């Protein structure tokens, strides 16, 4: 079989039948070409590939220092490729069937201590419109575990300050309602009273605005989080989801059940939420080591 022809046919399938973007299709191309190079070094044909060989490839990539997320993405690309080849009759068996993502390599998300979260909020003190807005945004992120994209998409009608909940739209447009907490409610009230009117240029329903009066962007929110973490002296490498991860972990540490946290995070599958139980166990190990007389 001509491997280049098969790759071209696969990319056409992704574009025409699956409707994937050009950038996504090119990412698949890069991943499959890397896998081709691995096969060429060993003079192995696609028809002769077994599951163990794919596992060897993934381990080799990991040993090269590739990120766990990159290795997992490579597996997704290979699985998609062989599923296509099997469906079209190019290969008799799919060697990737039942292969799972390399969970052992999954890196736990960065999580802040409660004291570190408090240090961030303590840094954001003042009554200027940016400080009031920024603190309100971070209060909601930590109080409700929203994704940044969900935060920026909030509209005025999505926040109920009397009852104390926020309605957001997650992945796939699925709506969920999450409690806010008093500090977040107070922060939003202050923002609506003293800060948002200063940003408002033309009528808009979006809750959080930038200097031009438009909906604040995800990039701006991410920069804001990094700025205050740096000012608070936090050395950890944080991500746009750090406050979301911290929200989930701190709830579990204090006895919240996994199903409730799953619902608040908007995870379709509880297995996605279970990563935070690993973080919780790490926290317990640290406590045990610190306080047990014979650690």
Q: What's the pLDDT tens digit per position in 46-84?
A: 888 888 888 888 888 877 777 777 888 888 899 999 999
Is there a single domain that holds both residue 92 and residue 224?
no
Length of the chain: 295
Q: Let me know: does 290 contact 282? Beta carbons within 8 Å.
A: no
CB atoms within 10 A of CB 186: 15
Mean pLDDT of 237-262: 88
Is there a single domain that holds both residue 138 and residue 278?
yes
Domain span at residue 49?
A: 3-99
What's the sign of the alpha-carbon dihedral 125, 129, 132, 136? negative
Is there a single domain that holds both residue 235 and residue 285?
yes
Residue that has been written with the tokens 């989801």 in this structure:
241
**CA distance to 238, 242, 275, per residue, from 110 (Å):** 6, 6, 12
**Statement: residue 292 has pLDDT above 80:** no
Written as one string, the DSSP assignment of 102-134 is -GGGPPPPP---HHHHHHHHHH--S-SHHHHHH
| Enzyme catalytic residues | 147, 171, 241, 244, 267, 276
Which of these three, 99, 123, 147, is where a domain ends?
99
Give the count of domains, the chain. 2
The pLDDT score that the predictor gives to residue 124 is 96
Is there a single domain that holds both residue 124 and residue 246?
yes
**CA distance to 36, 224, 225, per residue, from 212 (Å):** 49, 17, 20
Is there a single domain that holds both residue 83 and residue 183?
no
Token pair listed for 234:
């936090």
The pLDDT score that the predictor gives to residue 104 is 45
Is there a single domain that holds both residue 92 and residue 212?
no
Nearest to 255 by CA among 284, 275, 295: 284
CATH number at residue 43: 1.10.150.130
- CA–CA separation, 217 vs 210, rounded Å? 8
Find residue 165's DSSP bridge partners. 160, 179
* Residue 277 lies inside a defined structural domain of this protein: yes
* Residue 106 lies inside a defined structural domain of this protein: no
Is there a single domain that holds both residue 249 and residue 176?
yes
The pLDDT score that the predictor gives to residue 97 is 82
Is there a single domain that holds both residue 24 and residue 67?
yes
For helices 218-231 and 242-253, give the axis angle rounded to 10 degrees.
60
Residue 222's Cα: distance from chain center in Å?
13
Is there a single domain that holds both residue 140 and residue 201?
yes
The pLDDT score that the predictor gives to residue 129 is 97
The pLDDT score that the predictor gives to residue 291 is 66
The pLDDT score that the predictor gives to residue 15 is 87
Q: Taking all residues of the chain, what is their mean pLDDT, rounded to a whole number?
A: 87
Q: What is the DSSP-derived secondary structure letter of residue 1?
A: -
Residues 6+ apart with CB under 8 A from 236: 110, 112, 116, 229, 242
- CA–CA separation, 137 vs 225, rounded Å? 10
- C-alpha count within 13 angstroms, C-beta hemisphere, residue 150: 29
The pLDDT score that the predictor gives to residue 171 is 74
Structure confidence by residue, pLDDT tens digits, 161-218: 999 999 998 877 788 999 999 999 999 999 999 999 999 999 999 999 999 999 999 9
For helices 129-144 and 182-190, give the axis angle rounded to 10 degrees.
150
Mean pLDDT of 241-256: 90
What's the sign of the alpha-carbon dihedral 252, 163, 153, 211? negative
Query: Residue 206: left if φ>0, alpha if ψ -120 to 50, beta else—which one?
Result: beta
Stated pTM of the model: 0.62
Q: What is the DSSP-derived secondary structure letter of residue 20?
A: -
């Amino acid at each position: 079989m001509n491997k280049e022809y098969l790759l071209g046919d696969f990319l056409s399938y992704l574009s025409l039948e699956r409707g994937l973007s050009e950038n996504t299709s090119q990412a698949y191309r890069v991943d499959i070409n890397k896998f081709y190079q691995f096969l060429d070094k060993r003079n192995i044909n696609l028809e002769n590939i077994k599951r163990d060989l794919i596992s060897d490839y993934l381990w080799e990539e990991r040993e090269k220092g590739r990120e766990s997320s990159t290795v997992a993405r490579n597996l997704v690309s290979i699985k998609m490729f062989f599923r296509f080849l099997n469906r079209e009759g190019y290969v008799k068996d799919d060697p990737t069937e039942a292969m799972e993502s390399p969970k052992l390599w999954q890196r736990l998300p960065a999580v802040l201590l409660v004291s570190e979260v408090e240090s961030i909020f303590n840094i954001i003190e003042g009554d200027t419109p940016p400080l009031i807005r920024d603190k309100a945004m971070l209060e909601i992120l930590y109080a409700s575990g929203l994704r940044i994209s969900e935060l920026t998409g909030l509209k005025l009608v999505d926040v109920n300050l009397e009852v104390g909940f926020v309605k957001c739209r997650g992945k796939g447009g699925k709506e969920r309602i999450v409690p806010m907490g008093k500090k977040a409610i107070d922060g939003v009230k202050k923002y609506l009273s003293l800060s948002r009117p200063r940003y408002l240029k033309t009528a808009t329903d979006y809750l959080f605005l930038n200097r031009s009066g438009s909906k604040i962007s995800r990039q701006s929110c991410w920069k804001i989080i990094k700025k205050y973490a740096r000012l608070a002296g936090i050395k950890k490498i944080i991500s746009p989801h750090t406050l979301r991860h911290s929200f989930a972990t701190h709830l579990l540490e204090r006895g919240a059940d996994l199903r409730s946290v799953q619902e608040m995070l908007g995870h379709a599958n509880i297995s996605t939420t279970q990563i935070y139980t690993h973080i919780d166990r790490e926290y317990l190990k640290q406590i045990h080591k610190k306080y047990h007389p014979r650690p």
